[in-house]
Every structure is written in C-alpha cells, then in structure tokens.
Structure 1
Amino acid sequence: MPITVPDTCSTMRRILRAPGTDRVDLLRSMPERARGMYRGEVDLVAMHFEASGFPIDRDEEPCLDAALRSLGAA
C-alpha cells in the first residue's frame, strides 16, 4: 500500500504569501489528495476551518513562523 506524504509546509507558505483573494483556491488544492478518504462530496476548505486549520485571512506572520519552524523541522 503506497503512503503519500504531501508537502504541506511549502503549500502553507505559498497560501499565506499569496494575495488574500487567491488563498481559498490555493487552500482547496492542499487537502485534495485526501478527498478519497470521505464518502460523497466534502467541502475540504470548510473541513480545514472546522478542524482548526490555519486562518487564511489573518495572522500570516505567526502561521508562517509555525510553518517554517515546526513543519519545516519535521
């Protein structure tokens, strides 16, 4: 069974550095590989926010710091 480990650190960095108007579409691409884990149609962006995902409309610097320090080190 193959195991896929997406590079969420680079994707998170790209999302948080993008203009605010582009962030939802970029965020939508991040969990796309997980779509097959769910039955039926799932709004992956809504799920991101419901599951305590990082905000895309504020706190860019703390989130970038977390991505660079914590995710990058992992």
Structure 2
Amino acid sequence: MTDHRIRTSLGRSAAVTPADDDALRALAQQAWRRNGTAVFFGDQKLTEAERRVIEAAAAKLYGERRTT
C-alpha cells in the first residue's frame, strides 16, 4: 500500500489512504462484515433493478443526486 497522506500541519495524525483498488475493496468488505456499511463501486455488475433500488434508497436518505 502506497502512503498517500494529505499535506497538512496535522499530517502526522492523518490516516493513510489505501491507494489501490484491491485495498479499497477489502476495506469495503470489512466495513460490511463489521457494521453493515455497504459500498458500491461504479464498475460492479448490478442488474438494472438492483441499481434502481440502491439509487432510490440513497435519494431517500441523502436527497436527489445532482449531475454536472
């Protein structure tokens, strides 16, 4: 894992961010198993129905998504 610390005076206390895809996906899996936090990556294969359910739930919780 590459060290990608944010340059700041608080840098020594900032967490290290995983840089590669495998590390991020492993963290997502760990979050799900530990506390039920689900992370969906844009390249994951979901059916259209699954995608609509996720988007509807997110819109209900966080508001409509703004596109630019």
TM-score normalised over the length of structure 1: 0.27
- Bigger relative contact order (CA 8 A; separation at least 6): 1
The structure richer in helix per residue is 1
Q: Which has the larger radius of gyration?
A: 2
TM-score, length basis structure 2: 0.28
